[in-house]
Structure 1
Amino acid sequence: MAGAGSTGSTTTRPASSPWWIRYVVFALLFDVVLGRANFHAGATGMTVYLDVDYRSPTPVLEPIVVTGRQVRVEGRKIWAQGAIHAGDRLCATAEGMFVEPGGLLLENRRRLAGG
């Protein structure tokens, strides 16, 4: 079901916070939103690759909207893309690749259950 998406919104932190905090927070937001978009599209996986392009300065203390959608699935590999907007301003875009854990997940559950 490629194309299913996920959306979230938040308000950015004050300008007095270190510049790198916004970059880390944006990467975290993209990781979460792209992962949820994959979940809603019916395929989930662990993040293998996440590329973020910072397109323009992000306004301080204004709402931002984070969107994501799954764009394709090939076997265990899942690709998703997203964007962060502040109003009409494009602040950042992202592309991520995720990999379904396959049998590893079931094996770990069995091991943790003592089986």
Structure 2
Amino acid sequence: MRQTERGDTGKYTLKAQNENGTDSATCNVTVIDKPSHPKAREDDGGVPLENYLVEKFDTATHSRWVPALKVPARQAAANVDGLLEGHEYKFRVSAVNSEGESGSIRDIFSGSR
């Protein structure tokens, strides 16, 4: 099946018919995909989460989003090292599974060091 979505996961019955008769079979289909935004783990994409990617943005330099650390999927908190005194930072978090990376929750954490 092409262009499936996570919502297409479910039980399907396949039926075949020809001049010799009819047969059917039922199977469970699980559609896997990248996870949803890491908001209370709404959807892991159908496969276990591997980690969360935390990125930082230094508002003083207005440079770009920089990977700060990877956090194991079972870990609920993390500390970001290497922040500069007096700088304000924004952070965003993405969930990662074997299918890829979710969109990120942007600017959910901000603060100064």
Flag whether TM exceeds 0.5 (same fold). Answer: no
Return the index of the structure with the highest Cα Rg.
2
TM-score (norm 1): 0.26
Identify the structure with the greater helix proportion.
Answer: 1
TM-score (norm 2): 0.27
